[in-house]
Chain A
Amino acid sequence: MAPELTPVLSRGWLDSEPWTLAGYQRRDGYTAVKQALRMHPDEVIQLVKDSGLRGRGGAGFPTGMKWGFIPQNDGKPHYLVVNADESEPGTCKDIPFMMADPHELVEGVIIACYAIRASHAFIYVRGEVLHVLRRLQAAVSEAYAAGYLGKGVFGTDFDLELTVHGGAGAYICGEETALLDSLEGKRGQPRLRPPFPAVAGLYASPTCVNNVESIGSVPAIVRNGVDWFKGMGSEKSPGFTLYSLSGHVKYPGQYEAPLGITLRELLDYAGGVRPGHRLKFWTPGGSSTPMFTEEQLDVPLDYEGVGAAGSMLGTKALQIFDETTCVVRAALRWTEFYAHESCGKCTPCREGTYWLVQILKRMEKGEGTEEDLGKLLDLCDNIVGKAFCALGDGAAAPIQSSLKYFRDEYLEHFERGGCPFDPSLSTAWADGPLSFARTSA
C-alpha cells in the first residue's frame, strides 16, 4: 500500500492568507521558536541531529551535523545563509513554499540562528521571482514589528537581524561557496574547499548555508518532536519532503510525502502519465541527477534508494517525459543550460560544456557519427570530478545516462539524417486544450 501523503509544510496553503503573520499563527506559527528559546542552543542542535533531518537542497547532508560544525566561543560573528537560489532545472518547491508560507521559513531561521549563535542571517533568493521577494519582505517586516526579529528576540537577550537579498540571475549561485562570493558582492564563482564555510564562510567567518526546505522543516520538528519526524520515511532518510512532479503528468504539482515513496505511488496520486501516453524517462532530482526510465518506477525515493539505483535524490524534482519526447533534444537542451551557466572558473567545465553542445547539436540534426558517441563520453570523463564544484558533474549526467538507456535513439538520428520525433506531439496542448485540465469527474 502506498504511504499516505503527509502535508506538513503545505498544510496551510488552502487557508485564508497563509502568508501573513496572523495566518501563520492560526496554524501554531511561532510556537516552536518559543520552545527552542527555552532550550540551550546545544540542545537545539542535538534535537535536529537526533531527528536525522538531511539537507533538502540536493546533497542530503545531515542538517544538525552542519550546525554542529560551527565553532563556538571563537569570538567571531557567525552567519546563517538560507539558500533560496532555486534554479536546478525541474526544481520548483522552495518558490511556492516561500510564496505561501514565508513565516515558517522565518521561524526556522530564528531557531537555526539561536542554535548556531548567529546574530545576522540572510535569505539569498534568486532574483527572477519578484513575488517571492514581496512575500518575504512583507513577512520579515511583520516579524520585526512583532519583536520576533531585531534587538531582544521574543523578549530574550538574543539579537537577530534578517536580510532578504535578491540575486541577479546565475544558476551557479546555488552552489554554496559561489553563493557566499555572490553575497559578498562578487562574481558567483565557487571557492576551493577547505576551508569549508563552517570555518571561513561569509566575510571569512563561520557560516552555515542551508536550503529553504531544510530550514523550513525545523519548526515542525521542534513542535512535534523527533519521534514524530522519524515516524515518517526510512531509518536513514527520515521525515516528510516535497516532491515536485512536472511534465507529462495529469496533475503536475507539489506532493508532500514521506521519504521513500516511489514514483509509481506518486504518479497514482497525480493521476498518472498524461492520458494515452506512457512514461519514457524521468529525473529523480533535477537535470543534474542521472535519468531513470520505467525500470526504476519502484525505487524508493530516498537518499539511499536512489543512490543504489545509480542516481541521486537531489531536489526531488521529478520531471516526467512520455514517449513523444526526443531524448537527444532533452540532453542537448540541458547541456546548453550547463554551458550557459558554467561560471568559467575551471577549464574542464568551461571548455568541456562548450564542446558537448557542439557535438550534441550535430547529433540532433542527424549529422553525427557513431564515433561522436565515444567522444561525448570521453569529454564527460574529462569533466566529471575535475572541477571545483558539481556543475560539471551535473552537465555530464543527462548525457551519460541517456546514452546508457537510449543509445539506439542517438543512432537513429544518424541513420535517418535527422530527428525522428515531431516536437508538436510533446506540447501541453498536443492532445487538445483539455488534455491536461479538468478532465476527470
Chain B
Amino acid sequence: MSNKKTRILIAKPGLDGHDRGAKFIARALRDAGFEVIYTGLRQTPEAIASAAIQEDVQWVGLSCLSGAHNSLFPKVVEILKQKQAEDIKVFGGGVIPSDDIPGLKEAGIKEIFTPGATSKSVIDYINSN
C-alpha cells in the first residue's frame, strides 16, 4: 500500500523581495493536497536545485518580479540537468513579458504563469502534467 504525495518546491530566485504571489501559490497548492516546501527569499539557482534534489520534489515553482527571470530560471533548469535531475520539472511565474516566454520554454521551463493566472490554473496544470 502506498502513500504517495506530489511534492513541490516553491522558491524565490534572485534578490526580489515580493513574495506575496509565491506565498499565495504555496498555500493554494497545500490546500489542494500537495506537499509544498518553501525556501524563502534570495535563493541562488544552485541552492534551489540542491534543495529540489534533497527534497526529492516532482516540481519546482519559481517566482520572480524583478525582471531577472531570463538569467535565473534557465540556470535552475541547467543545474538540475547537470545533477542528473532533469526529471524535476520547473515552472515559473511573475512579471514576465510575453516575448520572453518562448525563450524560457526553450530553456526548459515547462510553463510560465503571468499576472492574473489563478491558483486553479496552476493546480490543474500540475495535475495534468
Tell whether A pairs with B: no
Q: Which residues of B contact A (CB under 8 A)?
A: none
